[in-house]
Structure 1
Amino acid sequence: MREGKPANRKRRRTKVPLWRWRNNPVRRRDDVLEAWLLLTIWVLIAVGGTVAGLATARAADQVFAQQRAERTPLPAVLLDDVPRAATGMGRDLASARVRWTTSDGATHSGMTLVTTGKQAGSTVRIWIDAQGKLSTQPPTPTRAAVEAGLFGVAAALAVSGVVFGIGGYGRWYLDRRRIQRWDREWALVGPKWGHKTR
Structure 2
Amino acid sequence: MASPAAEPRRPSAPGPAHGGPLARARARRSNPLFRPQDAWRGRLQLLLALGLLAAALGCALFALGRYDADRGSAEALQSHLHPVNAQVLGAPTASSTGRTTGDPVAPVAWTGADGRSHQAVAVVPPLTVQGQTVQVWLDAAGHPAVGPASPTASAATAVSIGLCALVGCATLVVVLHAVARSLLDRSALRGWERDWRATAPLWTGRR
User: TM-score surpassing 0.5?
Assistant: yes
1:169 aligns with 2:179: yes
Which residue pairs with 2:105 in the alignment? 95
Alignment CA distance shift 1:179-1:40 (3 Å): same
> 1:170 offset after TM fit, Å?
0.5
Structure 1 gap ranges (5+) = 1-12, 84-92
1:28 aligns with 2:35: yes
CA RMSD of aligned residues (A): 4.3
- Output the CA distance in 2 between the equivalents of 1:154 and 1:63: 18
Alignment CA distance shift 1:193-1:112 (3 Å): same
Which residue pairs with 1:89 in the alignment? none
1:187 aligns with 2:197: yes
Helix, strand or coil at the partner of 1:26: coil
- Output the CA distance in 2 between the equivalents of 1:135 and 1:95: 10
Which residue pairs with 2:44 in the alignment? 37
Q: Of the candidates 53, 57, 64, which is equivalent to residue 58 of structure 1?
A: 64
Alignment CA distance shift 1:20-1:102 (3 Å): farther
Flag the structure with more relative contact order, 1 or 2, with Cα contacts below 8 A and sequence separation at least 6: 1
Helix, strand or coil at the partner of 2:205: coil
Alignment CA distance shift 1:37-1:96 (3 Å): same
Q: 8 Å contact 1:57–1:151 — kept in the other structure?
A: yes
- Output the CA distance in 2 between the equivalents of 1:130 and 1:27: 76
- Output the CA distance in 2 between the equivalents of 1:169 and 1:184: 23
1:75 aligns with 2:51: no
Q: Which shifted more, 181-190 or 124-133?
A: 124-133
Amino acid at match of 1:26: L
Alignment CA distance shift 1:100-1:165 (3 Å): farther
Amino acid at match of 2:184: L
Helix, strand or coil at the partner of 2:123: strand
Which residue pairs with 1:118 in the alignment? 130
> 1:154 offset after TM fit, Å?
4.8
TM-score (norm 2): 0.57
1:134 aligns with 2:140: no
Q: 8 Å contact 1:53–1:153 — kept in the other structure?
A: yes
Structure 2 gap ranges (5+) = 1-15, 93-102
> 1:175 offset after TM fit, Å?
0.6
- Output the CA distance in 1 between the equivalents of 2:120 and 2:49: 56
> 1:168 offset after TM fit, Å?
1.9
The percent identity for this pair of structures is 23
Alignment length, in residue pairs? Answer: 169
Alignment CA distance shift 1:95-1:108 (3 Å): closer
